[in-house]
Amino acid sequence: MGKKKLIQIILFLSLLLVTFVVFNTYYKKDETIRKSTKEIEANNPDIDQSDEGKNIIKDIKYTSNNTNGDFFEILADYGEPSKEITDLMFLTNVKANIFLKNKSDIKLTSDFANFNTKTFETTFINNVKILRDDETILGNELYLVFDQTEEKLKDKPNIDQNLIRISENVIIKKPGYILKADILEIDLITKNIKVYMNDKENRVQAKSKLN
């Protein structure tokens, strides 16, 4: 065997050896890192694995007072700011509390909500529920506007104020009876409640039940 050929064989074997070492050192290490990352994510569900590009905020909470001395707070597991509309936040797993002066407190829950962080105008969506004393009110959508100051009303001067309006398949449950209607409104200043149908010819359905 010639000296030149021997050198070529040695170089070839050396190349194979270097390739083998690099593969085992870096590729396997990379695989280990990937596995470790997956294990960490699996064991820690709080890690945000949202779609890329989304700005998800966890544990949302906003509070406000109105001129009547009532207090409002809204909380959500997740919030995503709108990319198109300033001050609009899309909330998930929503809870809200209204602590009324000299009246029973009101608790609201829903799957989702569109919340304006400036005006506090909120639309609760899906599995909407109002809890107040022994009364439960259900519906598909709820519109809420807490107290609006002059500064907040600059953008929307005709907006409702201090109002809860629940609509779409409204069911009012209270010991002794059940009511079905299209719309229920609660005035947060006077505390008056109005229940009605969209079509004036239709009547609110009432059903008594034994305790």
**Cα R_g (the chain), whole angstroms:** 30
% of the chain exceeding 90 in pLDDT: 38
Q: What is the CATH number of domain 57-208?
A: 2.60.450.10
Closest CA to 161 of 144, 181, 179: 144
DSSP conformation letters of 135-187? EEEEEEEEEEE----TTGGGT-TT---SEEEEEEEEEEEETTEEEEEEEEEEE
CA 152 – CA 146 distance, rounded (Å) = 11
Phi, psi of 14 (to 5 degrees): -65, -40
Helix, coil or strand: residue 199: coil
* pLDDT tens by residue, 21-35: 545 554 444 444 344
pLDDT digits (tens, 9 = 90+) for 66-78: 777 889 999 999 9
Residue ranges of the domains in the chain?
A: 1-32, 57-208
The string of pLDDT tens digits covering residues 124-174 is: 999 999 999 999 999 999 999 886 554 544 555 555 678 899 998 899 998
Would the pTM count as exceeding 0.85? no
